Chains A and B, each alone.
Chain A
Amino acid sequence: MQGTAVKKGNSPPRVFKSVITATFKEHMAYRSRMAVSVFAQPVYFLVNYFIWQAIFQIRDTVSGFTFGQMLSYFAVSSLVGFLNWDDSGNVLPMLVQTGGFITFQLRPVSHIYYSFFQKVGHRIMAFLIEMLPVVCFYIMLGINLVPAEPFWVLISLFLSFVLSFLINYTIGTFAFWFVRTDGVRRAVYLFTSICSGAFLPLNLFPYSFQKLFFTCRFSLLHMYP
């Protein structure tokens, strides 16, 4: 750990705590940007609410989902999306393009760990500014957010948090070859979003697609939590 995460002379917990705190403070200055979600997410949700309300007017279930379950799925999926949101696939190419990455070679911290703990700090702030108000909105709408298996939910949330970071960071490393990676990033984002069930529950897709999606394991990002 000492050799890979932090270079000599700095204890890892202290450095990582500092990165989390610094990121939290830095982004707190731009908290209004994050607060946009407090408006945008309920509007997105309302659109989904009306779509499924219209569909469930003529049916009781769709692929085994009731209306309430479908709404819960979209609500939980959006919250998992907030928790997992990751910018490392964008920041790393930017550092490569501007030459800023060189400075990380001189710092006594490994960039991948630095980037991960930046995400931790950023998401702690997102939890307070984005997630809590949106959770309140869902509760007001009467959406059931109580997990059936709290322990497994926590485990799957932790795994999806780490996995989303690793996927994004890996895409970011393409910048060492291609410099600009917007296209690759968008392609992977689209693929993982579909395969993870971010747009629709995977059960709604045709059986052959479901087999492919569950084999890819991206369902750990959205569907499983």
Chain B
Amino acid sequence: MTGENSETRTRNIRFSAAGVYIQGVKTALASRMAYRGDFIMSMLIMMIVEFGGPVITLIIYNNGASFPGWNQYEVLLLQGIFLLSRGIAFPFFMGIVWNTIGRVREGTFDLLLIKPRSILLMTVVTGFDSEDLGKLIGGILVFRYALKNLPVQPASHWVSFLILFVFSLILMFAFALFMAGLGIVWVGNYRIYDIFMSVIDFGLYPKSIFTKTFQSILTYIIPVSLLASYPASALLGDLDQSVFMALLSSVVFLLLGFMFYFKMVRNYTSAGG
């Protein structure tokens, strides 16, 4: 009887959402390992590419120029947080976008629709992108480098930073939902990424460098400032009241993302479209 219970428990864990996700990660890693050399090089390049933004910042500051109100290491901290958020989002759930676009194009999206799991979970699970772990390593390195050169922050700053960082990931997920939804109707268009990358580029720099109108757009309409600017301000103890509106806006953005994604899934017409 105890043996049966234990077996049922193991089976439940294996078939839970987390269990299915871990299986997806294992499969993705195993298949990518067929070309190990290319995998390692791709991961390394992904990591180096992430240094692009911070290197530009260093060059700007080394030329005697600066962003008003921010010193070099504060900007690097902001960029480190941005890269950290992207480094978690891209390998772990952003793969939903290229996975959806590719499968809709090939016609294999239908195979996921007939699986006994939510279509959203299945696209996330089969979209794990191991190469993008390089982005995460790059983000950690920049974040660590900036922190080492800044004064030690109190625990209260860290708590508010962590809360805002979770919202940063929520926002990333919302973006992923919008892009994956678009990928269902805009067949085979990988350039959806370009739209996303251009928009989130605003998050790589301090909010204060933009005009008031853009600051409002980046806080209340598409809360890109929540990706790094607000978490960095929280960690540096320089948070303002507008963060609450940004948080509310990110939740609304996520809900709209879910609605949009599932509406697009309902509109999916397979080969008959």
Hey, which bits of chain A sit against chain B, CB under 8 A? 30, 32-34, 36-37, 39-41, 43-44, 47, 50-51, 53-59, 62-63, 178-184, 186-187, 190, 199-200, 204-206
A-B contact pairs, 18 of them (CB 8 A): A30-B188, A33-B190, A33-B191, A36-B192, A37-B194, A40-B191, A40-B194, A40-B197, A54-B67, A54-B209, A58-B65, A62-B64, A183-B39, A184-B41, A186-B41, A186-B46, A204-B63, A205-B59
Known: A37-B194, A47-B201, A178-B37. A183 touches B64 (CB 8 A): no
Q: Is B45 a contact of A183 with CB atoms below 8 Å? A: yes
**A63 contacts which chain B residues (CB < 8 A)?**
63
Q: Is A36 a contact of B194 with CB atoms below 8 Å? A: yes
Known: A50-B205, A50-B214, A180-B35. A186 touches B60 (CB 8 A): no
Q: Is A36 a contact of B48 with CB atoms below 8 Å? A: no
Closest to A41 in B: B198
Tell me the interface secondary structure of chain B in the complex. helix
Known: A36-B192, A55-B60. A180 touches B68 (CB 8 A): no
Contact code string B172-215 (vs A, CB < 8 Å = 1, else 0): 00000000000000101111101101110110110001110010
- Picked from A32, A44, A57, the residue with its CB within 8 Å of the CB of B198 is A44
Q: Is A50 a contact of B189 with CB atoms below 8 Å? A: no
Report the minimal beta-carbon distance from B131 to chain A, rounded to whole angstroms.
8
Known: A33-B189, A204-B59. A40 touches B68 (CB 8 A): no
- Top 6 nearest A-B pairs (CB, nearest first) are A183-B41, A54-B209, A43-B198, A186-B45, A36-B191, A183-B42
Report the minimal beta-carbon distance from B124 to chain A, rounded to whole angstroms.
22
Report the minimal beta-carbon distance from A30 to chain B, rounded to whole angstroms.
7
In the assembled complex, B151 has its CB within 8 A of some CB on chain A: no
| A-B contacts besides A186-B46, A204-B60, 12 pairs, CB < 8 Å | A36-B189, A40-B198, A43-B199, A44-B198, A47-B202, A55-B60, A58-B66, A183-B42, A183-B45, A186-B42, A186-B45, A204-B59
Contact code string B123-147 (vs A, CB < 8 Å = 1, else 0): 0000000010000000000000000
Q: Complex Cα distance A178/B48, Å?
A: 22
Q: Is B68 a contact of A58 with CB atoms below 8 Å? A: yes
Contact code string B41-74 (vs A, CB < 8 Å = 1, else 0): 1101110110010001001101111111000000
Counting residue pairs across A and B whose Cβ atoms lie within 8 Å, the total is 102
Closest to B42 in A: A183
In the assembled complex, B7 has its CB within 8 A of some CB on chain A: no
Q: Is A50 a contact of B45 with CB atoms below 8 Å? A: no
Q: Complex Cα distance A43/B195, Å?
A: 9
In the assembled complex, B166 has its CB within 8 A of some CB on chain A: no
Q: Complex Cα distance A186/B194, Å?
A: 17
Known: A37-B194, A50-B210, A54-B209. A187 touches B202 (CB 8 A): no
In the assembled complex, B40 has its CB within 8 A of some CB on chain A: yes
Known: A39-B198, A50-B211. A55 touches B66 (CB 8 A): yes
In the assembled complex, B106 has its CB within 8 A of some CB on chain A: no
Q: Is A47 a contact of B205 with CB atoms below 8 Å? A: yes
Hey, which bits of chain B sit against chain A, CB under 8 A? 35, 37-42, 44-46, 48-49, 52, 56, 59-60, 62-68, 131, 186, 188-192, 194-195, 197-199, 201-202, 204-205, 209-211, 214
Q: Is A199 a contact of B37 with CB atoms below 8 Å? A: no
Q: Is A59 a contact of B38 with CB atoms below 8 Å? A: no
Known: A50-B205, A50-B210. A190 touches B65 (CB 8 A): no
Q: Complex Cα distance A184/B35, Å?
A: 13
**A32 contacts which chain B residues (CB < 8 A)?**
186, 189
**A199 contacts which chain B residues (CB < 8 A)?**
52, 56
**A59 contacts which chain B residues (CB < 8 A)?**
64-65
Known: A50-B205, A180-B35, A205-B59. A187 touches B45 (CB 8 A): yes
Q: Is A182 a contact of B38 with CB atoms below 8 Å? A: yes
Report the minimal beta-carbon distance from B249 to chain A, rounded to whole angstroms.
19
**A204 contacts which chain B residues (CB < 8 A)?**
59-60, 63
**A43 contacts which chain B residues (CB < 8 A)?**
198-199, 201
